[in-house]
A and B are shown apart, each in its own frame.
Chain A
């Protein structure tokens, strides 16, 4: 670090002087020297495996029958893409993604408002409470919700037996709709704090003068929210939505614990896991992995091109 401080050029010295290019060069060298290791590690743990996955997906390869390995071309992709199971898993994944993101956006915004406006005495308590789900292991959350709803060990059926459609005989994990409901509940509970923190960051960016001015002008609370606050937070909201959507798209833990894909709750990640790790069909599993990756790229592309989400700018809040 000593050397870092030594060589550090004065950034504010904007006026170009003799030796500027030298300095720029040494600065660039130092920059890459410092950022390089992290950059290389990041590429090594993601770029390399995904290329490997693409390569593997071109073979028929089953781990327990290593001698039968053979070139498959794109036929693994043909198998995956022509299988209704894949499309169903994609559909369920998209459904979960859309529902969780919409609900979390609303709930997260409410929680962000609460944290933002909270009186000082309550602020710490509220923030702590909201952070708890953020820190909890997803698997723990999945078990908590599963046991609460489970027909044998659960109590939800007893509590809500007055609700039409719920009785002690309701087996939440026997149908698609109810299973997905609990899975989505757990997912929402665990990840709303994240989205609400991103929105909190956005909220505190809204200039207070603007809001005060609107209040003076006699705008109602709702008008202030929709005309002043929300437009000023648009970037933060977009980034929060994109990040959560991509995260929700990877959903695995909750489904694995609660239904393991039964009753039409299969999601893409689980399908990939079961194929490559469970069945040890490396070729087919890699094909699903690559397709999942392409889906994520697709979502990003749509967000950036169509909705003009400024990833690099807004993502500072996300991380």
Chain B
């Protein structure tokens, strides 16, 4: 049905193509590429405009905003791609959801020459996130990572100097407890909880999925392991001992930031946006400069003293829709979007770090983010969330079983989540 309509449209299109060449364009014949962006502070729209200008009529990029929640973004795009929507040219994709899009062929293959150009100087985590089945399937754009943010006063009182020597979760938990402060972590039932769980398990040397590329019913989970138990111990303790405060079960990244900025703020794991957001708060008079001066940063906390940390990896890659009418132009546009200059500008204005190491040397970046070096280091250490076409099931399954944090125990939770996810992947249970 669909195919026939298309064929008909094609014939009709050919018949009227000459006089009406502009029918798909903006009126002057320029092909319009639609870029589905995740919400930001306007940075992607600016880049779109700049690339449109520099394309000089070859193409024009229009942006269309996706929902705020990462899994809702995936939902929207997957639905449209399943509908073979030809209006999706460029997509800002959260890396964990890339395999699910790549597997059924929703992403147009990356041409070899493009692949070569866009992978130069790209941090390891971003490259891994852009790849599925050993093939580059998306163009790395920006790469995010969480740091440990701390109030210098609190760290000092606890005798810690996270900037000088790596700290462990136990240390910051003890510090918060002793000083009756709250740790700012993301305990809400959302993707950010999975981010936390994954970072903890990876920092303890484990992985959530042992064989991410296996078909659904053969996936083996690594949750029932010392690493899974270590992660459950940390989350459970923070929950049970009220170290996260009463808001923990509904605490997302933004709520974490308010707690950290408040009187009970101590340590926080969060993305770099917290720096620009706090600076903006100081500028509009809500906070004192003293707050900003009291904030320090370091690498994500370690689970054990002797094992290097594995910070969360996030960010956005650009996928090109397989059903786009202008795949070649879209790749051209994507290359324009991800130039180191644009990445640096995007970081400086929107607080989202580049995937290209070159961009970190940009003076504007260093000016806006004094912690740019730590971010770059963190990105090299960062471990992506499991890459599997069933990521949504895995992540939701974790959220169902590891929430609320106070109910998490090392004895029960890893087994429970492992059983649930396995059953769901086999189609034996609902989620």
Q: Give CA–CA (A68, B393) in the complex, Å.
A: 17
- Which residues on B sit within 8 Å (CB–CB) of A53? none
Interface check A232, CB cutoff 8 A:
no
In the complex the two chains form, what is the Cα distance from A260 to B399 in whole Å? 12
Stretch at the interface among A58-66, A101-109, A210-218: A58-66
Decide yes or no whether B26 CB sits under 8 A from chain A: no
B residues less than 8 Å from A170 (CB atoms): 246
Candidate in B249, B403, B404 with the most chain A CB atoms within 10 angstroms: B249
Query: What separation, in Å, do the CA atoms of A262 and B430 have in the docked complex?
Result: 15
Query: Nearest A residue to B252 by beta-carbon distance?
Result: A152
Q: Mark A61-89, 1 if CB is under 8 A from B, else 0.
A: 00111110000000000011001011000
The 5 closest A-B pairs by CB, nearest first: A174-B249, A262-B189, A169-B246, A63-B82, A171-B246
In the assembled complex, the CB of A173 is this many whole angstroms from the nearest CB of chain B, namely 5
How many chain A residues touch B (CB < 8 A): the figure is: 31
- Chain A residues contacting B428 (CB-CB under 8 Å) are 79
Q: When the two chains form their complex, are residues B246 and A65 in contact, meaning their CB atoms are under 8 A apart?
A: no
Say if the beta carbon of B253 comes within 8 Å of chain A.
no
Tell me the smallest distance from the CB of A253 to a CB of chain B, in Å: 15
Indicate whether A64 sits within 8 Å of B82 (C-beta atoms), given known contacts A83-B429, A260-B189, A262-B403: yes
Q: Is B62 an interface residue when CB atoms closer than 8 A count as contact? A: no
Complex contact B431–A275 (CB within 8 A): yes
Interface size on B, residues (CB 8 A): 31
Asked whether B353 is an interface residue with its Cβ less than 8 Å from the other chain, the reply is: no
Min Cβ gap B430→A in Å is 5
Q: Among the listed stretches B71-79, B160-168, B287-295, B337-345, which one makes contact with chain A, having 4 or more residues with CB under 8 Å of it?
A: B71-79
Return B323 CB to nearest CB of chain A, in Å.
Answer: 14
> What separation, in Å, do the CA atoms of A150 and B258 have in the docked complex?
13
What are 14 contact pairs spanning A and B, CB under 8 A?
A64-B82, A66-B82, A79-B427, A85-B430, A152-B255, A171-B246, A171-B249, A173-B249, A174-B246, A174-B250, A262-B188, A262-B403, A263-B403, A284-B430
Chain B 395-416 against A: per-residue CB contact (8 Å), 1 yes, 0 no?
0100000011000000000000
Q: Given A85-B430, A275-B430, A275-B431, are A151 and B246 also a contact pair (CB < 8 Å)?
A: yes
Give CA–CA (A169, B75) in the complex, Å: 34
Q: Find chain A residues with CB under 8 A from B228 CB.
A: none
Cross-chain contact A152 with B249 (CB below 8 angstroms) = no
Q: How far is the CB of A290 from chain B (nearest CB, A)?
A: 14
B52 → A minimal CB distance (Å) = 32
Q: A79-B430, A171-B246, A174-B249 are in contact. List 10 more A-B contacts (CB 8 A).
A: A64-B104, A67-B104, A79-B428, A83-B430, A150-B250, A151-B246, A173-B250, A174-B250, A263-B249, A275-B430
B428 to chain A, nearest CB (A): 6
B429 close to A64 (CB less than 8 A)? no
Q: Is the CB of A86 within 8 A of B75?
A: no
Q: For residue A143, give the distance in angstroms from its CB to the closest CB of chain B.
A: 14
Give the chain B neighbours of A288 by CB distance below 8 A.
430
Which residue on B lies nearest to A283, using beta carbons? B427
Q: Which residues of chain A come closer than 8 Å to B246, judged between CB atoms?
A: 151, 169-171, 174
**Binary interface encoding of chain B residues 154-193 relative to chain A, with 1 for a CB under 8 A from any of its CBs, else 0:** 0000000000000000000000000000000000110000
Q: Does A309 contact B (CB under 8 A)?
A: no
Which one of B100, B189, B249, B396 contacts A64 once the chains associate, using CB atoms below 8 Å? B100
Interface: B392 (CB within 8 A): yes
Within 8 Å CB of A151, what residues of B?
246-247, 250
- Tell whether A233 is near chain B: CB-to-CB under 8 Å: no
Least CB separation from B100: chain A residue: A64
Q: Does chain B have a CB within 8 A of A274?
A: yes
Q: Is B305 an interface residue (CB 8 A)?
A: no
Q: Does B389 contact A (CB under 8 A)?
A: yes
In the complex, chain B residues whose CB is within 8 Å of the CB of A123: none
Residue in B closest to A80 when the chains form the complex, CB atoms: B430
The reply to whether the CB of B53 lies closer than 8 angstroms to some CB of chain A is no
A49 sits at the interface (CB 8 A): no
Tell me the bound Cα distance from A288 to B431 in angstroms: 12
On chain B, the residues within 8 Å of A80 by CB distance are 430
List chain A residues, Cβ under 8 A from B101: 64
Q: With a CB–CB cut-off of 8 A, which chain A residues contact B431?
A: 85, 274-275, 279
B392 pairs with A66, CB closer than 8 A: no
Chain A residues whose C-beta falls within 8 Å of the C-beta of B188 in the assembled complex: 262
Q: Is B103 an interface residue (CB 8 A)?
A: yes
Question: When chains A and B are docked, how far (Å) is the Cα of A63 from the Cα of B428?
Answer: 18
| Docked-complex contact A64 and B430, CB < 8 angstroms | no
Alpha-carbon distance A171/B101, docked complex (angstroms): 37
B250 & A65 in contact (Cβ 8 Å cutoff): no
Encoded as 1 (CB less than 8 Å from any A CB) or 0, chain B from 198 to 242 comes to 000000000000000000000000000000000000000000000
Chain B, 95-122, contact with A by CB distance < 8 Å: what is the 0/1 string? 0000011011010000000000000000
Residues from chain B with Cβ under 8 Å of A86 in the complex? 430
Q: Flag A95-136 by CB within 8 Å of B: 1 or 0 each.
A: 000000000000000000000000000000000000000000
Complex-state Cα separation, A184 to B141, whole angstroms: 44
CB-CB nearest in chain A for B247: A151
CB within 8 Å of B: which A19-73 residues: 60, 63-67
Residues in chain B near residue A271, CB distance under 8 A: 430
Closest to A278 in B: B75
Residue from the list A79, A174, A277 in contact with B75, Cβ < 8 A: A277
